[in-house]
Chains A and B, each alone.
Chain A
Amino acid sequence: MSEEKKEEKTEEKKKILIIDDEVGLRNLLKFRLISFGYDVMVAEDGYAGLEIAKAQAPDVIVLDIMMPYLNGIEVCKKLKSDLKTKGVPIIFLSVLAQKEDIDAGREAGGEFFLTKPYDPQKLDLLIRMALKGERQPPEMLEP
């Protein structure tokens, strides 16, 4: 595993942390978010993500669920229980689209949920909402 260093940009660019084990999508997403104008950090598994979240203090975390070693739900819980990362809004992004998955995510503390494949516009909207501190309205839970 290659370690990726988060690039901090102290200008008003918001920092988004992407935690996803699939490299292809991770990179594409990164491109997408950069095109949106955010600073993007990536982590390839839960543990790495946790470290980066603690160290780098992103504004929004985009979190995949199906990951090895530590799945997204656990990561979310850990993030929410940690003082440093508690206030960071989390957007779940996963292939899992069942109600129980959504509920599990909510329970874990995740504020937003989006299923893959996602509508980029929707993602953009959610990030903006997250940054504002809004919550996801229920009808927008699926693409």
Chain B
Amino acid sequence: MIRSFFLDNSDYVAIFHGASFFLLGVASTLLYLRQQAASGAGKRYGLLFLGCFSFFLSLYQVMVIMAYGLMRPGLWHLERDIVLVAGFVLLFESGLMRLRPRARWSLNFFVLLPLVACTVTIGCASKSVAVCEVAIRQFLALPAALLVAFAFWKKADVERPVFSTRTARFVSAIFFLYGFFAGVIVPGSLWGTPYLFTEQRLFAFLGLPAQVLRASFATLLACIFIWRITRSLFAYRASLGLGRRPAFLLPLSFGVLYVAFLVSGWQLVQAVAVHERENVRRLVLKEARLYAEALLVSSDVDVLGLTQKSAYPALRHAHQRMVDLAQQDSFARALYLVRVEEERSVFLVGSRVQIFPSLVFPDFGAQVPTKQILDAFQGRQPTFAGPYADRQGRPFFTVFLPLDRAGAATLYLLALDLDGVKIFREIRRARLFPLFGVMAFLILLIVGYGFLIIFAVTNTELAVQKANLDKAVTHLRETEAQLARSDETFRGILSNSPNAIFGFDRDLRLIFWNEGAHRLYGYESHEVLNEKNPVENRRMVDLMGMEAYEREIVGVFQGQTLVREVAHKTKSGPSVDVVLTVFPVKDPQGNILFGMGLAQDISAHKRLEAALKEERDRLTIIAAHIGAGLSLIDKDFKILWFNEVMQGWFGKLETAQGRLCFDVFHRRQKVCDGCPTEQAFRTGAVSTGVQSVTYPDGRTIDFSIISSPIKDANGVTCQVLELVQDVTERRRLEEEVKRYTESLESLVTERTAALTASELMFRRLFESAQDGILIMDAENGNIIDVNPYLLQLLGTRREEIQGRPFEATRLFRETPALRSISQELSGRFTVFHDDVVLAAASGREINVEVRASWYYVGKRRVIQCHLRDITERRKLERIKTEFVSMVSHELRTPLSAIKEGVEIVADGTQGHLSSSQKECLEIALSNIRRLNRLIGDILDISKIQSNLLMVRRVPCDVTEVVDHVTHLAKIEIEKRGLVLETDIEKKLPRVVADRDRLIQVLVNLLNNAVKFTREKSRIHLTVRRTGNEVMFAVADEGPGIAEEELSRLFGRFIQLDSTLVRRVGGTGLGLYICKNLVDAMGGRIWAESRLGVGSVFKFVLPVEKDASR
């Protein structure tokens, strides 16, 4: 019965569907309203959407019933489905409002849009709206339902959910199923629209139409929602202490409504259907009668008289007439006559004729409505049959109208095939008014009910809220008192806080300024706030110099909190670094009252930071430049850090940090043997060690490691600092050095032996020398060593002299020459004194010659003096000198008498002399002079040899001396037949010389010239001034002197030609003495000569210093 109830009349299904959705709509809306009331400002439009959607759907279902046939079949299905999908999407949207917009829109875009697109394309491609509709339903409704299901599933996790988790999941499952049936299973195909699934199979499987299921699901959802509302109301009332009664009213009212809807709907449908049927019947009958009349009247054939055996033309005529009638635009599509013969229907002539005459087949197919025909025939009442579907699938009805002659038996039935579509359209048109009426009623019902509910809900809500309010007021009074207390505390806190705290309003004007702010910024409260006129309060951005941040600060009033490090201006000028925190102060409802700022002075902190950073940078630079590897290892042997040098050996810090040190450095699995770090951890003392590391490419580097433990506050070693140095090179060098050292050592031993031997030798030399050797320190004058000879010479013992300063020794102190040695040696390498007199300890005087020199012994400068006892030599010299002196004096004594005796006679003072007498005496005299000179020469030689030659150096008048000499010499020269030529410069300056010695030299040279010149030649004497000297030159025209002989000339006993000795005479001493004399006078003497031409002997003497010419 149920099957027939639902299957045969889809209107019932539609009613059920509509009622269910109506209920769901109401329930959702109520739930939404409840939520709004409960949670205040909420944006959970999901339920509202669901409600609206449900209402629409229920209206729609009603519309389906009422407006059937008015719209094109597929189109309103399409619209419904679009709404379905949209509804689902909205539900989904609302459920997913928790998601970020981007996620939501992505889902919409990537999931739904393609589906829509393909759906539309499919629909358009097949040029069938129906197909499009199906495609939407199947392709979109299901996903849409899935999305909603998903949304509800996700919503299960939301805090303060509408449903408990389980319920929400259940709801989501129902949505899923609903969508499944909406999309996959399609209800009855009455109108031949193609579906992808035909319902027969599924109906066979399920046994119930899908719409019924869908409606059931909707009812179920509605029930769940209603239960939720009831529960919340229940709980709410319980909390307020109100009765249970109001809580029950709601579900009760819903149930009543639902049933009423169903029942009334059904009744309505029934009534409408009956009414419709009646209307249609009447309409159709009217039409049929019209047709019948038309047929009977107009024909020139007796239609009623026709039989199967009638003549063809008559039949044809009748047929034509029917055809004409059928073509009129009316309900009837086809007409034909039906006769009943012997309980059998015979179709006579009709508008549709295939094969004339008896093969008129209506489109009943197998379903000939025999009953209706018989009823019509016998009952003489029109009957209806249908609906049938023709071969094209279009629906039609058939009405059987009995035709008779006035009161006679029915002869024929006029069967009219009525266009079902048109009929239905008529029906639907007929339904319009009631439809609108019903809809209006329903809307009013819904709206009214809605308002009622709202009113009821809000009324109770209001009552509840009023009670709440009273409670709140008392609560408020209490809190006010509390607030007053806390306000004071708060003020106290603010005032006493060391930090700067200030409040500001939306115009950024300061409304509060605490003591801390005064201290930090320098402004007092009254400078910043104007109590009389708050508009005059200073703006905090201007005061602190934060104009750049104004916009961000304004954002505080949108609820943002700002934390910045800035530099603020102060009253007195210097800016101060602060951390500024600006945040909104809200009331309990979350409204922002004013902004609050907190400024902490971090100048010191910043300085510290900068110092720390500098320190850290310095440490980093030190660590980088230290030139050795540094690494920090923790007690698990994990690498905490190492510096750049280590990175050069072992790779980047990032890859090694946190790994085990023996793994990274040595690629071992456990701690290395003898690891100094391990020792450091164990013993807590600094440990050293050397480790070799072999790299995969074969290189080996030796590292010296110094591990220093770093201890924590309790003295426990928590970390170790390793100092690592590459000692490969050093070790290699060490090896080499060891080798060299070994070879050197043997070398040194050899050398030392040699040195010792040599030292011994020299020591013996020192000890056994026959000269005194004294070694003293050049810096402090201490006597370092004295050799035995000297000790013996001086007659002292070693202890008295050695180690003591030079000055302290009496023996040396009293010898001025020795005292000055150090000074003299500062400028020269050696110093020689040959006339030092030492006093020996015994008092004996010793003549020594001292030769001193200095050299370095290591870093010490020492002076070595050689003292040679020359007492004997001096004695000898003295003796010799005395002897020579005595001899010459002894020789001179008689000589002077001889000279005087001869002279006195030669002078004529003892009587006149004849010229010959005079001549003889002159000869004697000249020889006497010669003898005198010789004695003088001998004496000079002796003095020269003893370094006792002394010359005076006084200014001498050159001209006078030369005149004197020439005067003397001329006589002798002319006697020999030679010529003396003189060339003496006028105004010669005075020379520094010894007059007598000068004469001696000149005489000597002249005598030599006389001796060596040719006979009858000339002797030149030239005296000239040359710069600072006066040059004397004596030239002869003798044989000359060979060049190599020139330098030997001035040596002792030199005479060039032994053959000349006899002729010339002379001892050869002359030039030697001349040289010594000239040198002693500060001049120079030399000779120039050309063999065969002659010789020139020249000497120069210095001019008197202040003779300025």
Contacts and interface: CB of A to CB of B under 8 A. Distances in A.
Interface of A: 22, 24-25, 28-29, 31-32, 35, 66, 95-99, 116-118, 120, 138-139, 142-143
B897 interface: yes
Contacts of B909: 31-32, 35
B893 interface: yes
A22 B889 CA distance: 13
Interface string B880-904: 0000010011001111110111011
A136 B901 CA distance: 26
Contacts of B900: 25, 28-29, 32, 117-118, 120
B952 interface: yes
A142 B996 contact: yes
6 contacts: A24-B897, A25-B896, A95-B892, A98-B950, A120-B904, A139-B956
A28 B950 CA distance: 32
B983 interface: no
Contacts of B901: 24, 28
A111 B890 CA distance: 25
Nearest to B950: A99
A98 B952 CA distance: 12
B892 A31 contact: no
Interface in B1034-1080: none
Contacts of B995: 139
Contacts of B952: 138
B991 to A, nearest CB: 12
Majority secondary structure of chain B interface residues (helix, strand, loop or mixed): helix
A8 to B, nearest CB: 23
A116 B896 contact: yes
A97 B952 CA distance: 13
B403 to A, nearest CB: 207
B367 interface: no
B928 interface: yes
Nearest to B893: A95
Considering residues A35, A66, A116, A143, which has the most beta carbons from chain B within 10 angstroms of its beta carbon? A116
10 A-B pairs with the lowest CB-CB distances in the bound complex, closest first: A116-B896, A35-B909, A117-B896, A95-B889, A28-B900, A24-B897, A25-B897, A95-B892, A117-B899, A139-B995
B932 interface: yes
A28 B897 contact: yes
A35 B892 contact: no
Nearest to A93: B896
A18 to B, nearest CB: 12
Nearest to B892: A95
B904 A31 contact: yes
B893 A138 contact: no
Contacts of B910: 31
Contacts of B896: 25, 95, 116-118
Given A25-B900, A31-B910, A32-B909, A139 B893 contact: no
Contacts of B897: 22, 24-25, 28
Given A117-B928, A118-B900, 12 more contacts: A24-B901, A25-B897, A28-B900, A28-B904, A32-B900, A35-B907, A95-B888, A116-B892, A117-B892, A117-B899, A139-B956, A143-B996
B214 to A, nearest CB: 165
Contacts of B907: 35, 120
Contact of B904 (A32, A116, A142): A32
B961 to A, nearest CB: 9
A97 B892 CA distance: 11
B563 interface: no
Contacts of A35: 904, 907, 909
Given A25-B897, A142-B996, A120 B903 contact: yes
A96 B889 contact: yes
Contact of A22 (B893, B950, B954, B956): B893
A139 B954 contact: yes
Contact of A66 (B889, B895, B956, B996): B889
A19 B904 CA distance: 19
A1 B120 CA distance: 188
A110 B932 CA distance: 25
Nearest to B891: A95
Contacts of A99: 950
Nearest to A35: B909
A25 to B, nearest CB: 4
Nearest to B885: A98
B954 A138 contact: yes
Contacts of A97: 939
